[in-house]
Structures are given as structure tokens and as C-alpha cells.
Amino acid sequence: MRIAGGKFKNHKLIAPKGNTTRPTLEKLRQTVFNICQHTIEDATFLDVFAGSGAMGLEALSRGASHATFLEKNRLALQAIYKNLVNLQLSDHATVFPGDALLSLKKLAQKNASFDLIYIDPPYGQKVPGSSQTLLDATLTLIDTSNLLSSNGILFLEEITAPTVILTNLTLEKERPIGDCHLYQYSHCKLKF
């Protein structure tokens, strides 16, 4: 796996061994960053269920000022830290080890806001002790908080469409890419 564009283009990334994470396809990463190419400069980027951190690292390579990574898998966290050190980007990143939903709640309590959010939850996984999927719980939490800045873009990588009804975010576009879909959300715009 490598960085597809920006300052660190073609730099090889360390990925966790085994099948505990699912790397985001390079084509999908390129699609995301083609969409936000005019807004990535100095943007703040939130990588939820970060895995190796490829999306946040790609954002930093393309000019984002800061990336925040949420990940609980120990091997994935080691890969994120190693990649940040190898690229000398540790000063431009924050890593929240642990449960993504708890980390999102902490960020919301601190009134954190991000220009770009990327969510790639484990496909079909449920919230422990709940019938709700991690996907729906994550979208609901972001929808009801101010985590996405007013002109921000939220990207979601999934194989199935979200089932949750959102009140503050609207689906702008859905793109099939490989075996999954890329969903693009923004804040609902008031129409007069």
C-alpha cells in the first residue's frame, strides 16, 4: 500500500499484518481526494476506524493541516504510529486509541470540528449490547453533533447503504467503487 498523491506520493505505508483491518482501495482514496482537492489545503481531517491510517496520511500528504485517527486495534495503532514517524508527521496528528464511538463523544464534548471526515467501519458489525450497526451509530453521533464543520464533507465507505435517518446531514452522492460504495454527505442546506 502506498500514498497516491501529494508531498509523500508513492511512499510505501506500513499496514497491520493479518486480516484484522481492510485497506481502502487506492482507487477509492483517489476518488475521495479528487472530490476534495480544492478544500484539502489546511483542512482538518478525521479518520474514523482508521486501520493503517492511510486516509489520514493521504490527507496530510495532500496538504491537510491536521489529521485525527480513531482506531482500537493494537496492530493497526502500531502501524499508524510507525507511519507517522516515518513520514515525520507526528506533530500534525492526534491518535485516539480505543473505541471509535467513545472517542467521537469525547471529541464532540470538546467541541472539535473537522473539515473532512472519513468513516470506514467494520462491515456489518453491531454496537456491543445493541442491535444498531457501528455504521448507523457513528453516522447518528456525527449527525447530532458539530463534528463536521458547516462546509465540511463526510465520506463513508460501506458495502450496504446506511439505514439511519439523518436530520442535519444530507447524502450528496453515492458512487460504486469495486465491491463497496462511497457515500458523500454534507450539511443540509436551508432552501428559501
64-114 tens-digit pLDDT:
999 999 999 999 999 999 999 999 999 999 999 999 999 999 999 999 999
Q: What separation in angstroms does the CA of 14 have from each of 34, 36, 53, 81, 142?
A: 23, 25, 9, 10, 29
pTM over 0.85: yes
Instruction: Please report where in the chains the cell 493479518 appears, as a residue.
Output: 18
Q: Which domains does the chain have, with CATH numbers?
A: 2-187 (3.40.50.150)
